[in-house]
Every structure is written in structure tokens, then in C-alpha cells.
Amino acid sequence: MTRSGGVPRGVSDVVPGVVSGVVPGGRIPTEQANLDERLYGEQYAGGSDSVQYSWDLLRRAGATARELLVQAASEEWGVSGAECEARDGRVLHGPSGRSLGYGPLAVLTARGLSEEMPDAETLVATEPALKTPGEYRLIGRRTPSLDGAEVVTGRIRFGLDTRVEDMLVATVARCPVFGGRVQGFDAAAAEAVPGVRAVVEIDADAVEDFGPNNPKMANGVAVVAESTWAAMKGRDALRIDWDPGPGAAESTEGFWRECERLAGEPAQARIRDDGDFESAMTRAARRVEATYRVPYLAHTPMEPMNAVAHVTDGRCDVWAPCQNPGYVGTAAGKVTGLPPEAVHVHVVRSGGGFGRRFYADYAAEAVYLSRAVGAPVQVVWSREDDVRHGFYRPAGHHVLTAGLDPAGRPVAWRHFLANASRHAALGRGGDPREAGELDDFDFPAGLLPNLRFEYSQLDSVVPRGQWRAVEPSANVWVIQSFVDELAHAAGRDPLEYQLDLIGPPREVPFYSRTYSTGRLRRVFALAAEKAGWGRPRAPGAGVGIAGSYSNSSYVAHVVEVSAPADGRVRVERVVSAVDCGMVVNPSGAEAQVEGCIVYGLTAALYGEITIREGRAVQGNFDDYPALRIDEMPRVEVHFVESDLPPQGMGEPPLPSLLPAFTNALFDATGERVRELPVRGRGRA
Amino acid sequence: MQSFELTVNGRRHVVDVLPDTPLLWVLRDEIGLTGTKFGCGEGLCGSCTVLVDGEAIWSCVTPISEIGDAEVRTIEGLSSDGDHPVQRAWLAEDVPQCGYCQAGQIMAAAALLGREPDPTDREIDRAMRGNICRCGTYARIKRAVRRAAELAQEERA
């Protein structure tokens, strides 16, 4: 059973590697667990911690199983367990040459062959002997995806492929203005579409809140039909009067104006204040200041949001491709009024998530509609629904100020952020100290004596939420761009400047733990070495470097671009260095780096949701583009060899890719990118 | 509603649908072939790619009324047991992550190799640029298409 929600890619491939790292050999099938947090604990997939979380648990599970199998074999043969070895799916008794497969041994174990044999709980409590890295057979080995054959033949079932007997299909017209509501509607034309069964208003305001961090669905009108196409046509035929509410006054221009105003006032909250920033600035030989802006970003996983629900008297089943089955269960309970034990959440495979499927709004719609029409209902979102009704990576206005000493080293640093935070949007309190998207431990916290982080928030109806490396995706871009600016201001090589700023190898406080500047230095140095940092560049070519520590992994990238004076910018090559502890499956880990590069480049080049009259302007891959295959750079991934426990890889490679790219653009063109995306601003 | 007869993966089907129904929804909702995926509904992402008389088309913007007597092939019918050179190459290069776009990617690659057995990198880019992958499997797709071309050549030899 894999615990996390059904999104993390390669987690089901890591699990057998880790387990069989201790139970050697044999094929270990995995199965996605449905929601049962009493049994499994929290089941979300977020924060890149699936592997990290599971490492100890799975190794102990594997080791315990091995001891049980060896015990069973030794009992069967009447020999000492110490003379037996578990290997390649069998337990062997060397002296006699006897062996038994895990299958028959498992049967013996399950029958409780001997009363003297300890049960699993006792064995776990007695700390089974874990393998040492030298003994691993699958861990560290390149292992292809377990479900590849299902994927390439089209047999694999995603959420949208869920079929329940007598299931109807629904589409929902949601209020295009965030926070708006339905005033009235005319269903006649929709009802006239052949195959349309019902038109149902979704009055989300009348549904009890799902709780903090678990936002409700939008208000809207649903068309429930016998087929997807009929539901889509029916929705097009709806005539709805919307009450847009106060959100209609919001726009991207207004948002930036308000951020500017906040930047000109004393900050609402001081997140961190080390040393004496002000007096250090007065002593500084030189002052550098820059303003950066990051936009709202949608997730656009390839599979649009969808879910199936079947609500009957006293029972609710939900089939949801989700990252957070617990939230789906809570939402279904609130919508139906059913107790938790009557709600059954079936976790089905997701076609990507990236943080969008952390929320349960789309599943709540299916539950709402199934309850309303008394039949199983599949809710299908269009791509436009996905882009226009997301929970966006927060936009932000960052002002960075540094004071440099005569040698160009920073002696004072201030980072100010104004934005509408995701925490406030998700009902996690309005205190700007708590709500901020700037963290106490953002870089270069702990590395400089005089350092100040400040935050001011503004209100907005725009939904904000998780994203792939949500905060670092913005903050690391800003910070690592600014470090590059300082290096150039100081007339120093950016790599050398970075290493100088990071300082000697040591442990630096990071939340309740620490991080290692030595490991951070090493990934910078490794990426630079493998990329051939410092080589002369052709005219129009540029190289940039950036790195970060986030979600417990260390990553640095060197990006090479070409920016011909008359043509489009092209990313030619990315060299990545990663220290994520032990690499369980190199193929999967490299895939995560490649994925973060593509996701990060897409964001840097194209990603932007703009707001006009309280609604998202973009709608599909024509105006919210994604990187395509002909834009794919050459990628080289280098892992630092390590015996340390494995850490997450779904997010850590993303943040520093963006500044490595824009630093390379500066190197090529002399133009500093301080606003994303790159496209539409300058030559990209 | 109107009745249409069509051939999918060598089998005849009769469906009763609105004449503007895209082939995608006929395949998924009427015939029960869910391997072909919905991604954008506008011919912008390639997830719904199928072969019509060997040519790759976007089934999300192709109405059933335009299919006529043409032979439709979906991922389920690309090979009898998953051994098409493109499928084998996809496994060998460990391409899929979430896997959602891969049916469309594979069908686009199969169409390319059907008309150009030994494509250049440029031809691969051009043939595959209509297919978006948000997980970022592009580097592996490029390798897999080249490997598939080699496998197909070995098969013919």
C-alpha cells in the first residue's frame, strides 16, 4: 500500500526498492491505499516528503518481513536462523543447500507455524537488523516504472476514466468573477439539448465551510447529462445572471499599484530582524536595490479536474484523483452531513497534480450534484475551467536592498514582500506575521549579520494555494537573481560570489533543524565543474548559475542560453547537481529533475495569470502556454554520492532553475529580468 | 441524435450521438475506449491524438460526422500485446511519469514513424511539438522515438 495521495510520480516505484532493499529479490506489487487515516496516518502528497516519510517505515517493514521469513524457514527445516539467508525471493540454507520461496514461506508465517515465532509487532519493537548501504541490491539501481506497460497500452485508468454503473456526467458554469454568485438563470435551452437530464444550481455559500486550508467549490450552475458532450453543450446553452460581488473591481494593474503603495509604507510585519540593518546600511560603501515581480500561476496538469461521487441514503462514495484524500473526505462529509465512517474515498490515479489536487473543490462538486440528482455523477472540468478556477501560486512584489562593503560583500540585507498570501486565502488567519510568504529562514538567513525580512499583505478574492515548490518557486528566483546582481555590481564572478556568501561548511539553523552550507557549496561546485563554468562564451550566448536548499534537498543548476539579437531566446543546456541523500531510483530521481526543469522553464518563459474585472484572463494552452518538445534543452543530472537518508525530489530542483535561466539571460544580453514571465518583455 | 457507423481498431461500431460530437467523446463515452485522453478540447495539447487512416489527428476537435469510412486506431489498438516498436521503446527509456499524455505522444510518434522511418531530430521536434507533457518527459520522448525507429528497422531487417 502506498500511503500518499495518488499523485507523486515514482513513489510507487520507490516503495518496492526500499522494502526489497531489505527483503531482497522478488517482485513487490504496490497498491494505492484508499482513505483511512486511522490506519495510515495523514495521507496527503505535498511538500516532497513521500520518500522521506516512508524511508524508515518501509525499511523496517522489509527487515521485519525478512526476519519472519527466515524464522519460518528455519523452523520448517529445524536449523538455526543464523545459517539462513534471504536472497532473490528465497530463503536459502547454505549448509544443506535447501531453499524455499517467499510465497510458501509467507503461507507458513501466516499460519503461525510455531507459537515461539514472534509476531510482526514484537519484531518491529525489537529493532530488526537493517541492511547497510553496501548490502543494498535495488536501492540506487535504475529501475523502470512499475506500471509502464499499463501506460503505453492505454489500459491504465485515470480519474477521468472512472466508470460507475448508471453514472451521469456534469459540467459546471462557475461564476467567472472570483467570489461571485448566481443571481438567476434560464435553463430552457440547456434542457433542450438531447441527453441533458438536469440543471442544478450549486449554492456553495449555503454549504458549511470545509475548514482551514480546505477551500469550498465556487458558486455556479451545473448541467447533468448522459454524456460528456451533452453536458458540455448544455453548459454552453445556459443563460446565467451573475452577481459578481466586490471582486469585480480587481485587476492585475490594481494589484501592482497596491503593492507599490505598501512598499512605500512601513511594513506590516517584521518576519526576521538580525543585527542592525539600518546602521549597517549607513556604514555600507554601496547600496544596491532592485524590485522583482512574480505573477499568479496556474498548475495545468494534463488531466483536468474531475471526480465521481455516488451519494445514497447513509453512504457516500467518491472516486477522486487527488493529492489529499483527507480533504476530500472532509468535504464530502460537510456537503452530505454524513459521518466520516459513511464516507468512502477511493484514491484514483491522477494525470498530474502539482499542488492543484491538494484541494477538494472539484470532488465536492461531484458529491453535491450526486446528492442533488440521486445518481452517480462524474464532474468534468474543461481546460478553461482549470485555468480560470485554480488556486494560484501567489503573485508578489519583492524589494531587495543590500549594503556592500568596499570589497563588494553584502553587510546588510533587506527583503520586503507585498502580496496576497495563500495562507490568508485558505482561511489560515489574517495576521501578516503568520500569513507571509516570506519565511524566517529564506536565504541568506543565518549567513549575514544584519538582515531584515518584512512583509505586508493585501486582500484579494483571487484564490491562492499550493504549487510545485510554492514559496521557493518565487522567493528563490528573486533571491538568487539579486545575488547575481550583487556579484555583477561587485565585479565578481557569480559562482565565486555565491560561494563566498554561503561561507565555510557548517550547520545553519533552518526551522527546527539545520542545513549544511557544505552540501550547498558542493552542489554549486559540482554543477559548475560539470558545466565547464568559466569557459569563454560565443557572442549571444550566456551562462547562469543558481542553487537552493528546499524541501530537505540541495540543488544547483547551470543554464546555458542563446539569445541572438534577431531571434528568440533558446535554452540550450541545463547541468544540474543534486544532493538528496541516497538516490533510491536514479531513473525516477532524474525524471523529477527533468520535470522540474520543464515546469520551471514553462513558468519562467510563459507563466502568468492576469486578472481583469475580477476574473482570470487566460483559458487554455494558447494563452497559457507550456514548454514544448522543440524547446527542450539538453539536460545533464549529477547526484552527489551519499549514504544519508533519501529526501524529496518532486520540488527541490525547481526553484533555482528559474534564476539560473534568467541569470544566463543577463549574461547573454546584459538585460536583467526582474519581472516574470520573460515572454512579452524583451526579446524572448 | 444521429446514427454513425465507424471502424475502430478493426472493429465496427454503431453509435447514436449528436452529429457534432467529437470523435474523442465517441471513443470514451460510447465505445468505452478510455485510453485516448481529454486535455484541452481545442487541439492545443495533443492528449487526444489518434490515427485516422494512419495520420495523427486531434480527436477532440474532429466531429464524428467527418470520420466516414476511415479507419480509426487508438492506443488500445496500436498493437495486439503492447509490442509496437514505439511502445517497446517507451518502456526501454522509462518515459512516462504521470502517464496521462503518453497515449497521445505514442500515437503521434507512431504516425511519424509510419511516414518517416528514420526521422531527424528536427523532424521529431516538428512531429511531436503538438503534444504537451507537463511532467516534462520530452528528453526521454526524443530518445524513445529514435530507439523506436531503430527497433522498427531491426524488425524489418
A640: left (phi over 0), alpha (psi -120 to 50) or beta: beta
Facing A154 at nearest CB: one of B1, B42, B103:
B103
Grid cell for residue A302? 494534463
Helix (H) / strand (E) element for A372: namely helix A361-373
Cis peptide upstream of residue A295 (ω within 30 degrees of 0): no
Residues of A in contact with B41 (CB under 8 A): 232, 382-383, 620
With contact defined as beta carbons under 8 Å apart, do A619 and A304 qualify? no
Q: Which residue of A has its CA nearest to B40?
A: A383
Q: Where are the alpha helices (DSSP H) in A382-516?
A: 383-388, 422-425, 432-435, 470-489, 494-502
The answer to whether A319 and A346 are in contact (CB under 8 A) is: yes
pLDDT of residue A21: 46
**Nearest-CA residue of chain A relative to B30?**
A227
Lowest mean pLDDT among A13-27, A295-309, A549-563, B65-79: A13-27
What 3-state DSSP class applies to A600? helix
DSSP state string for A17-37: HHHHTTS-SS-----B--S-H
Give the C-alpha separation, B93 to B90, whole Å.
Answer: 5
Q: Which of A197-206, A438-447, A673-682 has the lowest mean pLDDT?
A: A673-682
Q: Would you say A411 and A280 are in contact if contact means Cβ atoms under 8 Å apart?
A: yes
| Element spanning A349, H or E | none
Is the Cβ–Cβ distance between A647 and A50 less than 8 Å?
no
The DSSP H or E segment spanning A397 is: strand A396-404
Contacts of A380 in chain B (CB under 8 A): 38
Pairing of strands A410-419, A396-404: antiparallel
Are the Cβ atoms of B94 and A144 closer than 8 angstroms? yes
Nearest to A499 by CA among A447, A535, A543: A447
Residue A189: its pLDDT value, please? 98
Which residues lie closer than 8 Å to B90 by C-beta, 6 or more apart? A148, A151, A152, B96, B102, B106, B144, B148
- Judge contact between A52 and A644, C-beta under 8 A: no
Residues of chain A contacting residue B137, judged by C-beta atoms under 8 Å apart: 591, 594-595
ipTM metric: 0.98
Q: A22 pLDDT exceeds 50?
A: no
**Chain B neighbors of A147, CB-CB under 8 A:** 99
Indicate the SS3 state at residue A102: helix
Helix/strand/coil for A439: coil
Buried b or exposed e, range A183-203, using 16+ CB within 10 angstroms: eebebeebeebebbbbbbbbe
Question: Is residue A19's pLDDT more than 50?
Answer: yes
Best of A12, A13, A151, A592 to substitute, by most chain B Cβ atoms within 10 angstroms, is A151
How far is the CA of A590 from the CAs of A283, A639, A642, B106, B137, in angstroms? 46, 9, 16, 21, 10
| pTM of this structure | 0.91
Residues ≥6 apart with Cβ < 8 Å to B80: none
Report pLDDT for B135.
Answer: 97
C-alpha to C-alpha distance for A346 and A329, rounded to whole angstroms:
10
Distance CA A214, CA A327 (A): 6
| Torsion of Cα atoms, B127 then B130 then B136 then B140, to 10° | -10
| The pLDDT of residue A30 is above 90 | no
Interchain pair A302, B90: CB under 8 A: no
Establish if B59 touches chain A: CB-CB under 8 angstroms.
Answer: no
Range of weakest confidence among A112-121, A407-416, B97-106 = A112-121
Angle at A640 between CA A636 and CA A643, to 5 degrees: 145
Q: Is pLDDT above 80 for A129?
A: no
The C-alpha cell at A4 is: 500518499
B19 strand-pairing partners: none
Which strands form B2-8's sheet, in the order they lie side by side?
B11-17, B2-8, B71-73, B49-52, B55-58
Q: Which residue has the cell 520522448?
A: B141
* Number of CB atoms found within 10 A of residue A548's CB: 28
Spatial separation of the C-alpha atoms in residues A626 and B134, rounded to whole Å: 7
Q: For A663-677, write each residue's pLDDT tens digit.
A: 999 999 999 999 999
Q: Which chain A residues are Cβ-neighbours of B18 within 8 angstroms? A: 194-195, 229-230, 233
Residue A23 has pLDDT above 70, yes or no: no
pLDDT over 70, % of chain A: 90
Per-residue pLDDT, A89: 81
Measured between CA atoms, how close is B54 to chain A, in angstroms?
18
In this predicted model, which residue has the larger pLDDT, A14 or A197? A197
> Which residue on chain B is closest to A620 by alpha carbon?
B40
C-alpha closest to that of A402 among A449, A440, A438:
A449
Residues in contact with A465: Cβ distance below 8 Å, sequence separation at least 6, in sequence order: A215, A355, A356, A358, A359, A390, A391, A392, A393, A422, A425, A426
Query: Which ranges of chain B have pLDDT less than 50?
Result: none
CA distance A652 to B73: 40
CA dist A345 and A342 (Å) reads 10
Beta-strand pair B71-73/B2-8: parallel
In terms of Cα–Cα distance, which of A467, A466, A497 is closest to A480?
A: A497
Helix (H, G, I), strand (E, B) or coil at A395: coil
Give the list of residues 6+ apart from residue A270 with CB closer than 8 angstroms, or none.
A452, A453, A454
For residue B36, what is the nearest residue in chain A, using CA coordinates? A154
- Of A69-78, A165-174, A476-485, which gets the smallest average pLDDT? A69-78
Size of the A and B interface in Cβ pairs below 8 Å: 186
Q: What is the dihedral of CA A510, A516, A519, A523, to 10 degrees?
A: 30
Cα gap B97→B89, rounded to integer Å: 15
**Which residues of chain A neighbour B129 with C-beta distances below 8 Å?**
628-630
Express each pLDDT in A183-239 by its tens digit.
999 999 999 999 999 999 999 999 999 999 999 999 999 999 999 999 999 999 999
C-alpha span between A656 and A652 (Å, rounded): 8
C-alpha pair distances (Å), A283 with each of A410, A562, B157: 12, 40, 77
Average pLDDT over residues A510-514: 93
Of all residues in chain A, what percent carry a pLDDT higher than 90?
A: 73
Report the candidate in A360, A7, A367 with the shortest Cα–Cα distance to residue A170.
Answer: A367
For residue A125, the model assigns a pLDDT of: 65
The β-bridge relationship of strands A181-186 and B11-17 is: unpaired
Considering only residues A82 and B115, tell me which one the structure prediction assigns the higher pLDDT: B115
Question: Is pLDDT larger for residue A24 or for residue A620?
Answer: A620
Which band of pLDDT confidence, cut at 50, 70 and 90, is reported for residue A14? low
pLDDT higher than 90, residue A433: no
* Angstrom distance (rounded) from CA A154 to CA B120: 27
Which among A148, A155, A230 is the nearest to B96, CB-wise? Answer: A148
Characterise A371 by phi-psi region: left (phi > 0), alpha (psi -120 to 50), beta (else): alpha
Choose the mutation target among A13, A14, A153, A602 for the interface with B, i.e. most B CBs under 10 Å: A153
Q: What is the pLDDT of residue A118?
A: 61
Q: Are A568 and A606 in contact (CB under 8 A)?
A: no
Subunit contact B96:A151, Cβ cutoff 8 A? yes
Residue A538 has pLDDT above 60, yes or no: yes
Cβ atoms of B78 and B87 within 8 Å: the answer is yes
Instruction: Judge if the upstream peptide bond of residue A176 is cis by omega within 30 degrees of 0.
Output: no
C-alpha cell of residue A114: 510455531
Q: Tell me the pLDDT band of A373, cut-offs 50, 70 and 90.
A: very high
pLDDT at A12 over 80: no
Q: Residue A281: which pLDDT band, with cuts at 50, 70 and 90?
A: very high
Secondary structure, 3-state, B51-109: EECCEEEEHHHCEHHHCCCCEEECHHHCCCCCCCHHHHHHHHCCCCCCCCCHHHHHHHH
Exposure string of A23-61, with b = 16+ CB inside 10 Å and e = fewer, is bbebebebebbbbbeeebeebbbbbbbbbbebbeebbbb
* Averaged pLDDT of chain A: 91
